[in-house]
Structure 1
Amino acid sequence: MASALIVLVLAAASLVKKGKASPTGPPGRQCVQLEVPVPVDTTAIHWLQQKVESTVDTVDWVDDMNRWTSPNTTSRILGQITVKETFKINGQLCVPPKGPRSDILQLATHGVGFDKRYWDVEIKSDKYSYVDAALAEGYSIFTYDRLGTGASDKPDAYDVVSANVQVEILRKLTALARSGKLVSSSKKLGGASNLSSYKPKKIIQVGHSLGSALVIGLLAADGASSDGAILTGFLYNSQLGGVSVAPWGFEFAKENDPKKFGDRGSGYIVQSTKYNTQLVFLKKGAFEPALLDYAWKIRQPNTVAEFISLGTVLGQPAPDFKGPVQFTIGEYDYGFCRGDCKGTYNTTAIKELYPASTALQVHLQPGTGHGLTLSTNATAGYKVTFDFLHDAGL
């Protein structure tokens, strides 16, 4: 299952005409960039894993992950360790002008291969940026770099940057946002100065790929923490886990690009070529070449533990979650449906995991691959999500 996871104001008008989006987004967009201290005190799993300190090691890791005689996930559990540390998490809070939904916060968690820029595409943002779309719909939105990515801390890749630790960070961020102390407790790195007292009345969890898996883990562990969930790039279905990690073409991150990933240590891996990115995230005919270039430009490493630990947060029921939940996935998602999601899922079986949910929907985004925000019909998918939330009273 882990292997399936496989998202300055420009003044010159000429750049805008070329499709370069202004980071300020639509009129009225106000955002603040934050460094959020997140204290974590949790129990994590200590895994049986080989060291990955070169690309040769990485290729051998891929072989170990896929060889049928290799230990299964349960057999790789060696014990438990305590993770007690305060991590610096880089995030951005954006709030629209006062409106009927500005006190509903969407908290977005990205997946493997990206940082928070997955949600806020800078090329033709009116067509691709989920942040801009959410703001235009009246929602507030908080995006962040998961632990190990972007400008957030990058600790041990074998035990710490793992699924259950990431779930705990998401739980703490959710509680901090609900308390109204997200901004006031953080170091402000720039942006709007009038958002310190922002306190949402409701919180919707939004995830992509691994990010959706982390939301699923949060709903199972603390369902009452969230008022709704939008799970994109993920679907419980008969093909889940059928694709190996091999198509990523992983390399040791520091070796792949010493300048870009020089701060990543042992156990951090990244896709090797732009065309590995295409294979995993995009479907021919449903993306612009500039978006493939953009995806490659903003690519981010992940840790070996995130793959091996993924199964520990999936498949558990969320009896205390009482909000609406939507699964949105590309019709031709390669990683989760082996290239075609049609006829692979059972809505009744999925509903059993969310027995108290007020509404559940599965949406296959037509003609689209895994990278939903990078595909040409991105905004059409956003509309389906917003309509679902509105029908659910959010």
Structure 2
Amino acid sequence: MASLTLLAPFLVLLAGSAAAKSCTDFIIPVDILSRQGLFKKVPLETNLDVTAFAQELLRNGQNYTATLLEDYQTLKGSYKISAKFCHPEGGIGESVVQLLSHGIGFDKAYWDLPYNDYSNSYTDAALKEGYSVLAIDRLGIGMSSHGDPFNEIQAQAEVEALNAVTTKLRKGEVPEIGHSFAKVIHVGHSFGSIQSLWLSALYPNNTDGLVLTGWAATGDFTSVFWAGWNMHSARLNQPLRFGNASSSGLLNTYSAWKAGDALIKGIQMVLNKLGVGLSPDTIWEDIATTEVSNLIRGYNETTTPLDYASGYVSWSDFTANQFCFLHKGHYDLGLGLFSEANKQPMTVGEALTIGSFPQRSSFSGPVLVFTGREDLPFCGGDCLATGTNATSIPAGAKALFPKATPFEAYIQPDTAHGINAHYNATGAYQVINSWLGAHGLGA
């Protein structure tokens, strides 16, 4: 039975860890040079503006990227990449490191989820195999440098930032780590997988192995994904977290909503007086699975608002979250709600450039594509429904890696796009790290 107690994970970042590890958070400065698009800006101040942008993005027969593209530019600048480095408690393995890149809607915490004592932590699974890991907030997201959402934070710029971090790891130029690594394995999820592929195409000698999770080479289902998002302005979706909580009026407006249990009881009391008998379960559905949840239970207590500009967008609510990322009945509802509370936006510049990744990589090392069978954005809900003799939709990515040795596509059952939120996530972690060890990339 649904209960508001399931909202409690929204706020809880458990202090303990199921695995013995040592972790440090820090900033990595990077300099990037990126050749990328110069787009005409369109209004994105309101949710209706953002909806209009989504309509144009999905309009049949139109390439909205080409419509808005005015010219090309060379972006040059210095940026900060927020990172979390973890190594086994016994010490840093100096030879191999996994560099983890999250997908759209997440930040670096995707790889080390604190929910339920880190029971779904990919980081912990990698550390148990002896790896050190570095998880980053992609450029423009989370605690990394933000920027102009049209003409600065685009896919190409993020790839250049990822490459710069990779080079620093190899050269031992991250003072907080104090070691150089002979091998860097790029592990990505979704957009992070696209960027890892992109890096391998531009800089094939700067990666030693690719694990591309939540990804396939096809873009046939992109419009379904974007439509399911029900795209909103991030700063309006979670105004005190994504916006700027310095507005005392806004803070006062939502401060009375912070006690979720009390809110449920108060609503029920009022409805009972009006003769409307709604159960706690019904009220829970009205709150937790709608955008109302984005305005209560802790978002008003954000101590460091992320202050995203107009042009940073997010999906609307938890129902959109499930549609795009989760397989009902096969994920922890509490973890799903936690993910909704801690979600991250994307930029419209990313939306316009995400499909520009190279269609061929000369990388000759090991490549594993790991995708949930019920993945929506890359498989339309069934990665085995190929309509051809191919073993799976992700297996078609082999054409992008003609020199990869080996290439393998693995399909995880009962798993949708947000792999790490599902009950069998730890099984996925075991498959990935065992595969790495079996192909010359063990810690």
Task: Output the TM-score relative to the length of structure 1.
Answer: 0.87
Measured against aligned partners, the alpha-carbon deviations of 1:287-343 in whole angstroms (never above 9, x if no partner) come to 11111111111101110111110121142x111x12101111111011111111114
> How much does 1:257 deviate?
1.9
- Find the partner of 1:153 among 129, 145, 152: 145
User: In 1, distance between residues paired with 2:27 and 2:412?
Assistant: 34
- Show CA shifts across 1:6-33 (max 9, x none): xxxxxxxxx99xx974455512x11111
Are 2:150 and 2:349, in contact at CA under 8 Å, matched by a contact in 1?
A: yes
Amino acid at match of 2:334: A
Aligned residues of 1:99 and 1:138 also touching (Cα < 8 A): no
Q: Distance in 2 between matches of 1:271 and 1:128?
A: 23
Q: State the match for 1:325 in structure 2.
A: 367
Structure with greater helix percent: 2
**Cα distance in structure 1, aligned partners of 2:394 and 2:72:** 35
Alpha carbons of 1:63 and 1:346: their partners in 2 closer, same or farther (altered >3 Å)? closer
Match of 1:227 among 195, 202, 208: 208
Q: Is 1:274 matched with 2:274?
A: no
Q: Alignment partner of 1:328: what SS?
A: strand
Q: Structure 2 matches for 1:1-394, cutoff 5 A?
A: 21-22=14-15, 24-27=17-20, 29-98=21-90, 103-182=95-174, 184=175, 196-237=177-218, 239-241=220-222, 243-262=224-243, 263-315=307-359, 317-319=360-362, 321-344=363-386, 345=392, 349-394=396-441
TM normalised by structure 2 equals: 0.78
User: CA offset at residue 250 of structure 1?
Assistant: 1.5
Maintained 8 Å contact 1:233/1:330: yes
Secondary structure of 2:352's counterpart equals helix
Q: Report if the CA contact (8 A) 1:102-1:138 is conserved.
A: no
For residue 196 of structure 1, report the CA deviation from its aligned partner.
Answer: 3.6
The answer to whether the 8 A contact 1:43-1:83 is kept is yes
Where does structure 2 lack aligned partners over 5 or more consecutive residues? Answer: 1-7, 244-306, 387-391
1:356 counterpart letter in structure 2: K
Conserved 8 A contact 2:230-2:315: yes
SS at match of 1:322: coil
Over the matched positions of the two proteins, sequence identity in percent amounts to 32
For residues 198 and 52 of structure 1, the distance between their equivalents in structure 2, rounded to whole angstroms, comes to 44
Structure 2 residue identity aligned to 1:306: E
1:187-230 Cα offsets, whole Å, 9 max, x none, are xxxxxxxx542221210000001110111110110011000000
- Within 1, Cα distance between the matches of 2:330 and 2:408? 23
- Asked if structure 1 preserves the Cα contact closer than 8 Å seen for 2:85 and 2:177, the reply is no
Residues 95 and 102 in structure 1, CA contact (< 8 A), matched pair in contact too: no
For this pair of structures, how many residues does the alignment match? 364
Q: What residue ranges of structure 1 are gaps of 5+ in the alignment?
A: 1-14, 185-194
Aligned 8 A contact 1:247 1:279 in 2 = yes
Counterpart residue type for residue 325 of structure 2: F
